[in-house]
Structure formats: C-alpha cells, structure tokens
Structure 1
Amino acid sequence: MDRYVWSWAACIYLRNHPVYGPLLGRASAAPLDYSMKLSEEFEKSLSARWDWVERDWKLFVDDFDFGYQPESNLVAIEDVAQGIRESGLSEFTLDTDCAKGWQLARCYLKAGEQVEIHAQGTYVVRSANQEAWESSPDGITYEYHRRMPLGKLLGGFVSTDTSAPLEVFGVGKQAVYEAQRDGWLLFRVNEPVGQRLDNSGTLQVRGRITSSRPR
C-alpha cells in the first residue's frame, strides 16, 4: 500500500509542477510505451536538475495531505533560489499569503549564520459558523496543529545538501534561526493544508542576517 500511495503522490507532484509537468507530458505523449523506456527517458530529462527535484519534493511531502491543492501549495524554487544565492542579500521582506503553502524568502544562509526574523499582521485562518478566526503571527492557542498553535508563522529551511531533511521551526512574532548548513528560508502559516482555502490576508515577514561572517 505504501508503494502504491507514494507512486500516486509522485504523479501529483510531477504532473502539477510548473517545470517538471511539461517534461512528464512530453515523455508520456501518445503512443505510450509501457516498457521502462518511458521512465528512463523521463529520468534522463531531469538528471541535470535532480537536486532541485529532491528539494521541491521535500516541501511537497511536508504539506501533502487530504485537501491538497497543487495550484496554491506546490512550490518550485529552482529559478528564484539560484538568483537569491548569487545576490548576497543580508535583509529581506516577504508578504506571506496565509492561504498558500511554503513561500520562498529572498534569503540565502551559509552554515553558522543567524537570521533575526520579525513578523506582523492580522489574518483570518478559519471561518466557522460565519465567524472569522483572526490570528497574529503567534497563532491561536484555542487549537493546535502539529503541536503548535493554529495560524502560527512557521519557518522552513531547505539545504543545498539534498541528504538533509527539511527543517521546520516556529517563528511567531519573532525568532532567531541559525543555519547548520547552507540553504534557503521559506515561510507559511501553521494549518492543515485542506483547511487553508478559507484563509484570507497576509503577514509581513522581515529578516536580517545578524552574524558577522563575510558573505
């Protein structure tokens, strides 16, 4: 069963990905070849960017659950992330849409660097019985998801090392994060993916790299 489920998850991921979806479409165009040739040709088309396939897959798997909507939750970071790494920026601002999944900040951290994060804003994380549930970046302690308050701002760190797992940490109104490896920061609000569709509003996330390590 696990192999069957993960195979369909991979189909959803690849079919809806803005970069890999067209490649899959070309590989699976009629007439279909039911031998291993199709898979081999598709894998070959992805070989040069396989590290990015793995990074986006980790973000997909973290959020994949009942009610998953690819158009608002599937993340493709390759093109933007490479530009961020080359930019050498030490500060960033991100208007985080609370109805969407992981969103990439313009922040590249090297191992040992710290980033000081501040967030502000009020947004609706759920409408129940025609009553809006408003949240701040610290979330609503009336309900919890994955052991953190509903609506709390979360941070995610994707490493250049593809063997490293996605790191997810609580941010709230402010936090300091220290990178153990080189990589990129992302943000989203804490809520089951199938319940984010009725969210509205944004919160502003600001960050500044505070370490003195030369960039």
Structure 2
Amino acid sequence: MFFQRCGASRMGNWPMNETMLRRLNEKRRQIAVWLLLPILVGGCGGAEDAANDSPAPSVASPVRPPEDNNNRPDGAQQKTPKQPPQSQRVYRPDDQRPQHDDTRLAEVGIQRYESQRLILYTDIDPEVAKPLPGLMDEAYRAWEEYFGPLPPNRAGSDFQMTGYLMGDKRLFVETGLLPEDLPDFPHGRNRGIEFWMNDQEHDYYRRHLMIHEGTHCFMTAMPGVLAPSSYMEGMAELFGTHRTDAQGRTTFRIMPTESLEVRGWGRLQIIAAECAAGRPQSVMDIFNYGHNSFLKTESYAWSWALCKFLDAHPRYRDRFRELGGYLQGTQFSRKFQEFYRTDLSELNREWALFTSGLNYDYDVERAAIKFPATQALAAGRETSVEIQANRGWQSSGVEVEAGAAYEITAEGMVTLAQTPRPWEATAEGITIRYHDGQPLGRLLAVVVPKNATAALADGIEPVGAAATLRPRVSGTLFLRVNDAWGELSDNGGTYRVRVTRRAGDS
C-alpha cells in the first residue's frame, strides 16, 4: 500500500515500539482525510463541473449583511457570514434537429437557404425564399431585446431553427420532411425549434407567418413553458406584424397603417365584424382561451389585439413586458393578477373603448385615457371640462345616471391638420371630410359603465355644439374630438365643454 511504502522509506530499518506505531497510524489517517476531502466535497470534476452538469437553476440563499464589529458585545466571537451556494448554470436543451441530405432534396426541387438563426427548406421561388432567413435573424434580435437572451446550450452553438416552407406539401411528405405524427394544420405549426408552414398567397403574410412560428420556437426554447395560450399566440402575432423600410431594416410589433400593408392578415376586420355581431371579447375572456380556442381565426385576432393594447399603452406596457420573464411554470397568471390588480377596472373600461374604435393606424399612446376623480351632478348643477383635439377619449369627470337628461354645450376652435393649410373646426365639425360617419372635428360622447369589460353595444353619440343626452346606462361620460385614430398627432386646440343636469331630473 502507498502509505506503508512511504513509512518504510522514511523509517528505514529503525525498530518501532508500540507508541511509535500508534503515532504513525494516526498520521496516516490524517493524511488520508486531507487527500480524500476534495473528492468527497466536489466530485471528480470539482464543484464547478458539478454545477455545470445540472440543467435547472437553484435558488441561492440570501446574502447575510456583514457583522457590525463595533456593536458586538464584549467577549462575543465574531460570526463568519455564511456564503450562499453558487447558482447552478442554466442551459437550453441540446440541438437535436434532424440532418437532411441536401443533394437529394435539391434533386426533387427542395432547396436549402441558411442564416445564423434559420435553416430554411422550401420549394418556392428562390428569389422569394432567399431573403427569408435574414429576416428571421432580424426577428431574433428583436426577441432578444424584448425577452432577454436565451441561455447557451452545452455545446456552445448558436440558437438556430429549421423551417419547412411548403409550396407542394406532397414533396415534403415523400421526402420525410413532414413528420407523419405532426397534427394537420391550415397555416403553420412548430415543434421544438422546427416549424412547418404552407406557402401563402401574399408576400406579407408569408413573412408574417414565418415570424409567428419563429416566435413560438424562441419562446418555447426552454422547457416548462406554461404561459396562457392567448399570450403565446398573441405575442407571436404581435412580432409577426412587421414593416421593412427602403433600406431593408425591419420593425416588429407595429400597428399596421392600412390593409394593403398587411395583405392576407385581416385581424382588424375580424375584430370589427365580431363587435358588430355582438361578440366582443373582454380581457378575461381572452386570457382564459384554451388551446382549442385557436382552431378559430377570431382567437388569434383577439389575442393580438390584447397584446398590442397592453404592449403599446404607456400606463400598462412596462408591467406587460415584465410578464415575458415568467413563461415557465404557473407563475404567469399569478403575476398578471398581481401587476394589474389595482387598476383592472380602469383597464377593462379602456379596453372597451379601444376595441370599440380599433382600426388601422390606431395611435394607442395618444388614445390612452386618464381617469380623474368623477362626480355625480345634482339636478340643475353643471361642470365644465377642456377636451383636447390631439387626444382620444377624455373623461368629463361626470357620472351620469341612466334616464336622466344632460345638456351638453361646447365652444372653441380646434385645428385638425397643418397641410396644405390648417383645417380649423368648431364643435359641429367640418364636412370637407368624415370619419366613422361624422364630420371631422365634431364633438362626440359615450357613456362607459363602471363594470364595462368589452366593446360598447350602445355606441357613440354625436354632440356637436349643443345636444341633450339621455343615457340608457349609468356610467362615466367620455368626450372626444372626432378624427381618425392615426391622425391625432398634428391636431391642436381644445373645446370647452359644459355639462348640465337638467333641472327637474332627480
């Protein structure tokens, strides 16, 4: 044995009595303990390697504040602060995408196009296909900026997806690129970091759908994602809405300006049709969508609208963007309720007004509503408020009662455009142009009940310079200067509006 050989070489042929032998054995035990200690504590690879082998993070203990030695009682021993355990490194799953015979695929008309973040197999026109992987690289940078970077995998390779864009689905079935066990889909579907999509009639929607599926690949790259389906689909739709400028730079999460910009998408038309048919959706209706809800296109439209509203609204967006850090496990729903508990009633009422007027080029930021304190008017009492032309709906500060009569008068002048010359209007509006069936600049009114959660069925009332309003429901009276929702920024001026509860109404 090693220790015996060491002892013999050190002692030579010296005779050893019992005391010397006992001391030598004790020394051997001490040496053995010190030599074995690193193995017992850290494993063969040491503490760092042991941490690297763990796929899941651990929660580090909080760091205790340092001892205040000046205030320690006399005679007390100084405590050594406990060191928190080293956080275990987190890895994303290994890349297990299948490898394909590109030469054989090319022989049947399926070409491969590659960028840093996407390998694309497709049989569509090469001139259409070539730019698509680069677009996905731009989308990846947008995802990282929004959600944060993904953890590395153990191999240290870049995150990359494989997509299959199918013009002739038969080719992809025959070559085995379309798995037999993949459920059927009308447009696109992802599994892990692969996605499959049918080619689309319109160039825009082809790109939109590819980014949509890529967003799913990114958001589900880590295991255990249990965020609501409406959030997952809504965010995929949100990133899918994009615009590329003349220099080739792409902006994501846009509000489309017109239908021709997003041909084939159609979400805004769907929402308008659903509201007109009496099927508006509340925030909680959408939040509670299950997986099967997305067998209908309407669910994609409503999920996009909710994500767009919360992501663009100046009062709600910071909280909403923080939710992107809670995709795994069941914490997302709890965090949503925690983040919006204090102003959920206001959010619901604002959502009701947003969906009532949602259209192309809607300026969510300028349409954001402030909720000042309100009051009910006694019979014969009045109040006044300034209504700005460059904002959306604005609270009058008045709680109206169903069936009571209110006299509303307005005076002043606003400017609705600056080119080719300023368009000036009074509260009656100017008939040179109309929006939603009313002259530009006309004063409009709507009553929003306290418990409103979805688009308003009672609609909007034209007021003009003077009108009597007898609301069918009780709630807060909101007013605005009529103009297209995307053209508020160049407006100026205010109307001074007086609201009087008619004497004799009680």
Instruction: Tell me which interval the TM-score lies in, with the shorter structure as reference length.
Output: 0.7 to 0.9
CA contact (8 A) 1:73 1:101 kept: yes
1:33 alignment partner in structure 2: 327
- Distance in 1, matches of 2:495 and 2:398, equals 17
SS of residue paired to 2:472: coil
Contact 2:376–2:400 (Cα < 8 Å) also in 1: no
Shift of 1:16: 4.1
Q: CA deviation at 1:109?
A: 1.0
In structure 2, what residue type is equivalent to 1:110? E
> Deviation of residue 14 (structure 1)?
1.9
1:192 aligned to which of 456, 465, 484: 484
Q: Any idea what the Cα deviations from partners look like across 1:31-53, whole Å, max 9, x if unmatched?
A: x4245541353146545754433
Higher relative contact order (CA 8 A, sep 6+): 1
Q: Where do 1:81-92 residues align within 5 Å?
A: 83-85=373-375, 90-92=381-383
- Structure 1 residue aligned with 2:311, among 15, 21, 24? 15
Which amino acid letter does the alignment assign opposite residue 144 of structure 1?
Y
- Deviation of 1:211 after TM superposition, in Å, equals 4.7
Residue 158 of structure 1 aligns to which amino acid in structure 2?
V
Larger radius of gyration, structure 1 or 2? 2
Letter of the 1:157 counterpart: V
State the distance in 2 between where 1:34 and 1:165 align.
Answer: 38
Structure whose residues are more often strand by fraction: 1
Change (3 A) 1:138 1:210: same
* Runs (5+) with no aligned partner, structure 1: none
The two structures, once aligned, show a CA RMSD in angstroms of 2.6
Cα offset for 1:19?
5.0
For structure 2, the residue ranges without an aligned partner over 5 or more in a row are 1-296
What is the SS of the residue equivalent to 1:128? coil
Q: Which of 148, 160, 173 is matched with 2:450 structurally?
A: 160
For 2:418 and 2:459, how far apart are their aligned partners in 1?
Answer: 30
| 1:171 corresponds to which of 460, 463, 469 | 463
Q: Does 1:42 align with 2:336?
A: yes
8 A Cα contact 1:136 1:151, kept in partner: yes
Instruction: Report the counterpart of residue 110 of structure 1 in structure 2.
Output: 401
**CA shift for structure 1 position 54:** 2.0
TM-score, normalising length from structure 2? Answer: 0.37
Equivalenced residue count is 207
State the one-letter code of the partner of 2:410. A
1:5 aligns with 2:305: no
Q: Distance in 2 between matches of 1:103 and 1:51?
A: 16
Answer yes or no: is the 8 Å Cα contact 2:385–2:396 preserved in 1. yes
TM-score (norm 1): 0.82
| Distance (whole Å) between structure 1 residues aligned to residue 337 and residue 385 of structure 2 | 34
> What amino acid is aligned across from residue 197 of structure 1 in structure 2?
S
Change (3 A) 1:86 1:176: closer
Counterpart of 2:496 in 1: which secondary structure?
A: strand
Partner of 1:53: 347
Q: Percentage identity across aligned positions? A: 27
Matched residue SS, 2:349: helix
The structure with the largest helix share of the pair is 2
Task: Decide whether aligned partners of structure 1 residues 153 and 55 sit closer, same or farther in structure 2, where only a CA change above 3 A counts.
Answer: same
Deviation at 1:111, TM superposition (A): 1.7
Distance in 2 (CA, whole Å) between partners of 1:166 and 1:112 is 14
Q: Deviations over 1:95-154 (max 9, x none)?
A: 11101100101211112211100001111112332x111111001112111111111111
- Give SS of 1:107's match: strand
Deviation at 1:203, TM superposition (A): 1.1
CA contact (8 A) 1:15 1:24 kept: yes
The SS at the match of 2:320 is helix
CA contact (8 A) 2:376 2:398 kept: no
Instruction: Tell me how far apart the structure 1 counterparts of residues 314 and 486 of structure 2 sit (CA, whole Å).
Output: 21
